[in-house]
């Protein structure tokens, strides 16, 4: 009786985890800030961020830039890169990923602390970073589901090889197979036809598989979505429309641009199971008033707006050779 | 994908007992299995009798899926593949090459947009002749009877020193007249099968595939209430990109323009098509002039709107 009485308070005092364990646990789920232009809202693993925009609107460029920040180490050879030092998994549903652009941006980032003049870059760092970038290409919904179902084991293997875990899951164009799934009525051997639409079933399976994957490998999910249905926005005074057949860009930028009551120019087409899975949303559209002062030949301008959580201002972003920057 | 009972011969673990168990969950094929929750299957398998065998059956199905999925590559492997296989082909015109970063890249789908007689077919013919001169085959799907062997011979003759080699060069350009979208699908599937099984000598060195113009094939089916038109369009896009990536071909398609909401013209085929090509170029010609302008609508590495001003494309 005496021993039992002593055991209980002892267990109560003993504690569940040591301080080091607690720090490790909290560190993993701590919110962090992504580099600009996604820096307005802190995100944590388990969040799902959706980038919506028409084509072209720099969505893939933003993904590439964020991936590079993730795979760079914090410090290398005494230079502080400020990377997250983790792996990135990129699922390419659009089949449009350009590895040369990725390589170009990575080299820009590696050379950046050394100044403009240097030409050669640290090959060992480049190889390390490139090996940390994992890529899968799927050409239909079934391949996507196959990949998701077998991903957990493969990520474990990669973790053993590299020593660090996957931190970011990027899906380029979650709506890529929308039309094919919509029209797909694959043969069901049952007598009664399915009650649910095929599109619905696929989306549910995808969301379920990603949720399961996130339980085992906590990651931040960033998905791009392109616009399929374009609604004409009918607001009171809109003086400019998105026309790009104009030959002179100067002529467009000097026009008077006023937009009252920004309406979203697109219609949501993903099923509700995906829409409720998304925790954050950004809308990117082309900007019509570029400042004429920028003489950069090779740069494009876009407007980035946080829809979820709703922020009252939009960032102006510019895409240059060296990456995507916020134009202030 | 296979229905489950057809897998029984090859994989004895998927016996009739397992199939009955799956049928109770409305799983009749591998596709149904993919759409189903695997953990729920495992838990219900443990509740049944002979749960050991059922578990083994589920693992067997998972390993079948494992063998089919696309591979997981890393950045270094991608760079190596790009360096070895994904070269850049010149279009034959220096101005265009300078604009799009060297020329047409293998593995990418390039789209030329422009009103009629803005030079789209000329660019296609010029690219075909340039690629054919480098000992590679060209497949030209011609939808509007616009392929002109005389013009191609002119391009070849323009910049080569010998005359006798012209015949060989012209032999490498194979032109198929195509008048509806199903014909195009047939041809593309046949090409894919030939390349996969490596038969058909003429198909082996194909490096350029031109569809002039893809919009005349797809626009007629886009009208209508169902999604079938858009589905065919997107499937065609995916098929072309798959051919380009797996078999190291560069694909060039042309598209026309339609009137937009505010009176300005915009490319045809709508909003969904915009995210299919890798590179989109806009051609325009001043009225009656010989000077064509080309500007970039979209490019993975160049800014939109970048123009090659007054490119003297054709003399």
Burial class (CB in 10 A: 0-12, 13-18, 19+), A240: middle
* Residues of chain A contacting residue B272, judged by C-beta atoms under 8 Å apart: 179, 228
Its ipTM equals 0.88
The per-residue pLDDT of chain B, averaged, comes to 83
Cross-chain residue pair A96–B278, CB shorter than 8 Å: yes
Cross-chain residue pair A131–B69, CB shorter than 8 Å: no
Of residues B32 and A146, more confidence is placed in: A146
Burial annotation B265-280 (CB, 10 A radius, 16+ → b, else e): bbbbbbbbbbbbbbbb
Ramachandran region, residue B74 (left: φ > 0; alpha: ψ -120 to 50; beta: rest): beta
Contact A55, B298 (CB under 8 A): yes
Q: Can you tell me the distance from the alpha carbon of A140 to that of B66, in angstroms, rounded to the nearest whole number?
A: 16
How much is the pTM? 0.84
Q: Can you tell me the distance from the alpha carbon of B207 to that of B250, in angstroms, rounded to the nearest whole number?
A: 6
User: CB-based contact (8 Å) between A74 and chain B?
Assistant: no
User: Does the pLDDT of residue B26 top 60, yes or no?
Assistant: yes
Q: Can you tell me the distance from the alpha carbon of B116 to that of B255, in angstroms, rounded to the nearest whole number?
A: 10
Query: Would you list the domain boundaries of chain A?
Result: 44-186+196-227+268-290
Percent of chain B predicted with pLDDT > 90: 25
* Residues of chain A contacting residue B261, judged by C-beta atoms under 8 Å apart: 232, 241
Contact A181, B14 (CB under 8 A): no
Share of chain A residues as helix, strand and coil, in percent rounded to the nearest 5:
35, 20, 45
- pLDDT band at B164; cut points 50, 70, 90: low
Contact A146, A206 (CB under 8 A): no
Cross-chain residue pair B297–A56, CB shorter than 8 Å: yes
Residue in chain A closest to B263 (alpha carbons) equals A243
Q: Of B30, B38, B25, B35, give the one whose Cα is nearest residue B14.
A: B30
Residue A186, pLDDT score = 55
Average pLDDT of span B133-139: 89
End-to-end CA distance of chain B: 54
| Residue A241 DSSP label | -
User: CB-based contact (8 Å) between B260 and chain A?
Assistant: yes
Share of chain B residues as helix, strand and coil, in percent rounded to the nearest 5:
45, 20, 35
Of residues B61 and A3, more confidence is placed in: B61
List all residues of chain A from 116 to 135 with a beta carbon under 8 Å from chain B. Answer: 127, 129-135
pLDDT digits (tens, 9 = 90+) for A37-80: 788 888 888 899 999 988 888 888 899 999 999 899 888 888 88
User: CB-based contact (8 Å) between B48 and chain A?
Assistant: no
Cross-chain residue pair B82–A55, CB shorter than 8 Å: no
List all residues of chain A from 217 to 236 with a beta carbon under 8 Å from chain B. Answer: 226-230, 232
Neighbours of A103 (CB within 10 A): 19
CA distances from B39 to A56, A202, A227, B55 (A): 40, 17, 34, 11
From start to end of chain B, where are the E strands? 73-74, 88-89, 104-105, 109-113, 137-142, 173-177, 206-212, 250-255, 257-259, 265-267, 279-285, 292-298, 307-311
Contact A249, A273 (CB under 8 A): no
Percent of chain A predicted with pLDDT > 70: 78
Q: Reduced to 3 states, what is the DSSP secondary structure of residue A115?
A: coil
Q: Count Cα neighbours of B225 within 13 Å in the Cβ-side half-sphere.
A: 0
- CATH 3.40.50.300 for domain A44-186+196-227+268-290: yes
List all residues of chain A from 235 to 264 with a beta carbon under 8 Å from chain B. Answer: 241, 243-247, 249
Q: Can you tell me the distance from the alpha carbon of A111 to that of A106, in angstroms, rounded to the nearest whole number?
A: 9
CA distances from B157 to A152, B97, B154 (A): 58, 20, 5
Contact A102, B77 (CB under 8 A): no
Ramachandran region, residue A323 (left: φ > 0; alpha: ψ -120 to 50; beta: rest): left
pLDDT digits (tens, 9 = 90+) for B195-236: 888 765 656 688 999 998 899 999 888 877 678 888 899 999
pLDDT digits (tens, 9 = 90+) for A69-119: 989 988 888 888 888 889 999 999 988 899 999 999 999 888 888 776 666
Longest dimension (CA), chain A: 92
Average pLDDT of span A255-276: 64
Q: Reduced to 3 states, what is the DSSP secondary structure of residue B284?
A: strand
User: CB-based contact (8 Å) between A146 and chain B?
Assistant: yes
Two tokens, residue A159: 């973790």
- pLDDT band at A187; cut points 50, 70, 90: very low
* Residues of chain B contacting residue A230, judged by C-beta atoms under 8 Å apart: 271
Instruction: Give the distance, in angstroms, between the CA of residue A260 and the centroid of all CA atoms in the same chain.
Output: 29
Cross-chain residue pair A133–B68, CB shorter than 8 Å: no
Q: Can you tell me the distance from the alpha carbon of B188 to that of B109, in angstroms, rounded to the nearest whole number?
A: 14
């Amino acid at each position: 009786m005496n021993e039992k009485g002593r055991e209980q308070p002892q267990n109560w005092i003993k504690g569940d985890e040591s301080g080091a364990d607690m720090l490790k646990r909290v560190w993993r789920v701590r919110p962090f800030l992504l580099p600009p232009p996604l820096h307005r809202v802190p995100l944590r693993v388990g969040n799902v961020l959706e980038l919506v925009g028409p084509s072209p609107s720099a969505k893939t460029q933003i993904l590439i830039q964020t991936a590079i920040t993730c795979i760079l180490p914090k410090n290398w050879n005494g230079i502080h890169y400020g990377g997250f030092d983790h792996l990135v998994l990129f699922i390419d549903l659009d089949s449009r990923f350009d590895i040369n652009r990725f390589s170009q941006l990575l080299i820009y980032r590696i050379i950046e602390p050394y100044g403009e003049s240097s030409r050669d870059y640290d090959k060992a760092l480049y190889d390390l970073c490139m090996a940390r970038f994992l890529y899968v290409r799927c050409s239909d919904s079934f391949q996507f589901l196959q990949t998701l179902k077998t991903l957990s084991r493969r990520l474990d293997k990669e973790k053993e090889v590299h020593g660090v875990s996957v931190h970011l899951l990027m899906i380029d164009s979650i709506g890529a197979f929308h039309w094919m799934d919509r029209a797909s009525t694959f043969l069901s051997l049952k007598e009664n036809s399915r009650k649910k639409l095929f599109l619905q079933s696929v989306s549910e399976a995808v969301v379920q598989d990603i949720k399961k994957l996130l339980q085992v490998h906590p990651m931040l999910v960033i998905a791009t979505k392109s616009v399929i249905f374009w609604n004409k926005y009918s607001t009171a005074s809109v003086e400019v429309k998105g026309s790009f057949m104009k030959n002179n860009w100067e002529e467009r930028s000097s026009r008077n641009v006023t937009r009252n009551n920004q309406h979203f120019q697109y219609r949501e087409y993903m099923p509700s199971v995906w829409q409720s899975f998304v925790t954050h949303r950004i809308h990117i559209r082309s900007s019509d008033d570029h400042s004429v002062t920028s003489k950069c030949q090779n740069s494009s301008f876009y407007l980035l707006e946080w829809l979820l959580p709703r922020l009252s201002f939009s960032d102006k972003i510019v895409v240059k050779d060296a990456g995507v920057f916020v134009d202030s | 994908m296979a229905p489950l009972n057809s897998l029984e011969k090859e994989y004895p673990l998927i016996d009739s007992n397992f199939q009955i168990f799956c049928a109770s969950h409305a799983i009749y094929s591998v596709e149904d299995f993919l759409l189903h929750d695997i953990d729920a299957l495992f838990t219900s398998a443990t509740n049944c009798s002979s749960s050991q065998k059922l578990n083994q059956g589920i693992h067997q199905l998972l390993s079948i899926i494992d063998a089919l999925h696309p591979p997981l590559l890393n950045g270094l492997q991608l760079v190596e593949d790009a360096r070895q296989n994904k070269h850049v082909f010149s279009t034959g015109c220096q101005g265009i090459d300078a604009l799009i970063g060297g020329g047409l890249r293998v593995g990418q789908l390039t789209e030329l947009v422009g009103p009629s007689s803005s030079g789209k077919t000329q660019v296609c013919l010029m690219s075909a002749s340039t690629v054919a001169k480098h000992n590679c085959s060209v497949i030209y799907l011609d939808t509007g009877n616009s392929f002109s062997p005389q013009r191609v011979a002119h391009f070849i003759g323009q910049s080569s020193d010998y005359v006798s080699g012209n015949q060989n060069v012209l032999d490498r350009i194979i032109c198929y007249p195509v008048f509806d979208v199903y014909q195009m699908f047939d041809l593309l599937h046949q090409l894919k099968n030939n390349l996969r099984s490596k038969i058909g000598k003429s198909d082996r060195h194909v490096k350029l595939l031109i569809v002039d113009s893809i919009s005349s094939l797809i626009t007629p089916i886009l009208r209508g209430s169902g999604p079938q038109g858009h589905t065919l369009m997107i499937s065609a896009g995916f098929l072309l990109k798959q051919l380009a990536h797996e078999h190291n071909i560069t694909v060039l398609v042309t598209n026309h323009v339609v009137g937009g909401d505010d009176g300005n013209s915009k490319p045809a085929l709508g909003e969904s098509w915009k995210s299919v090509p890798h590179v989109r170029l806009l051609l325009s010609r001043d009225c009656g002039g010989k000077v064509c302008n080309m500007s970039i609508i979209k490019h993975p590495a160049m800014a939109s709107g970048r123009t090659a001003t007054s490119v003297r494309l054709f003399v």
